[in-house]
């Protein structure tokens, strides 16, 4: 099966020690187990993909009728987190009910991990956009204000994309080219070097980095 991605949950951060004694910061991810809920083909849907679901307990009354029928058709238990993954190989024989496990990943591989960053509410320009701010001396009266936002005669308006105070965080972020440090198939754990967006317990999507020719 040529599925090169897996769903999971961010558990937190830790560190492990390399052979030379250096500390390596790692993020611990629960990667799977996942199950194929639906197989999309180019003949019926116009593209090749599989719909994966993360296996975890969910009360039946928490699943609406539409999803209940969807899971019943696939002959799988109700799932909370679903995501489609494109498949390059049209001859892939993945079908509903197949399992996708963390064993598909190997130590040393590079992966991209996508999650939703922590929401930080309404923030000013200094925190949101790293503005320098004004002088801190007495009588300055210009400490964390945004400053000038455009010219006068031209263009006589504010440019699109101008950095302002506003809502910060709670955005879809992808941490790219993280190296797999450890794979624990018994506990469905994947340790990657570096940080991953999102709080502990948040859903994430792990995908292998395509090899560049």
The pLDDT value given to residue 115: 93
Residues 26 and 79 in one domain: yes
Q: What is the rounded CA–CA span in Å between residue 90 and residue 174?
A: 27
Lowest mean pLDDT among 27-36, 85-94, 160-169: 85-94
The pLDDT value given to residue 213: 43
CA distances from 81 to 35, 55, 60, 93, 143 (A): 11, 8, 14, 23, 45
97 pLDDT above the threshold of 90: no
142 pLDDT above the threshold of 70: yes
Candidates 124, 98, 102, 121; CA nearest to 111 is 102
Total count of domains within the chain: 2
Question: Looking up tokens 């307990």, which residue turns up?
Answer: 57
Q: Is residue 141 part of a domain?
A: no
2 pLDDT above the threshold of 80: no
The pLDDT value given to residue 43: 84
Q: Is residue 62 part of a domain?
A: yes
Tokens of 48: 């090749």
CA distances from 53 to 1, 33, 36, 71, 82 (A): 16, 9, 6, 10, 4
| Whether 125 contacts 190, CB under 8 Å | no
Residues 50 and 153 in one domain: no
Using one digit for the tens of pLDDT, what is the confidence trace for 191-202?
999 999 999 999
Residues 92 and 189 in one domain: yes
Residues 46 and 105 in one domain: yes
Contacts of 103 (CB under 8 A, 6+ apart): 183, 185
Using one digit for the tens of pLDDT, what is the confidence trace for 104-139?
888 889 999 999 999 999 999 999 999 998 999 999
Structural domain span for residue 163: 124-134+146-169
């Amino acid at each position: 099966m040529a599925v090169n991605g897996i769903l999971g949950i961010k558990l937190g951060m830790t560190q492990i020690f390399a052979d030379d004694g250096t500390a390596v910061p790692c993020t611990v991810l629960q990667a799977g187990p996942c199950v194929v809920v639906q197989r999309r083909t180019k003949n019926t849907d116009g593209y090749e993909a599989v719909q994966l679901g993360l296996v975890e307990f969910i009360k039946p009354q928490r699943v609406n009728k539409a999803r209940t029928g969807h899971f019943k058709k696939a002959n799988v238990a109700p799932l909370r987190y679903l995501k489609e993954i494109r498949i390059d190989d049209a001859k892939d024989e993945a079908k509903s009910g197949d399992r996708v496990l963390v064993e598909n990943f190997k130590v040393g591989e590079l992966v991209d991990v996508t999650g939703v960053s922590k929401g930080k509410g309404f923030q000013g320009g200094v925190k949101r956009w790293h503005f320098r701010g004004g002088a801190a001396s007495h009588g300055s009266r210009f400490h964390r204000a945004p400053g000038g936002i455009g010219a006068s005669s031209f263009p006589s308006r504010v440019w699109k994309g101008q950095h302002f105070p506003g809502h910060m965080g709670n955005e879809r972020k992808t941490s790219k080219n993280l190296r797999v440090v450890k794979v624990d198939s018994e506990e469905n754990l994947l340790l990657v070097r570096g940080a991953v967006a999102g709080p502990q317990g948040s859903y994430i999507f792990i995908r292998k980095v395509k090899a560049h020719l």
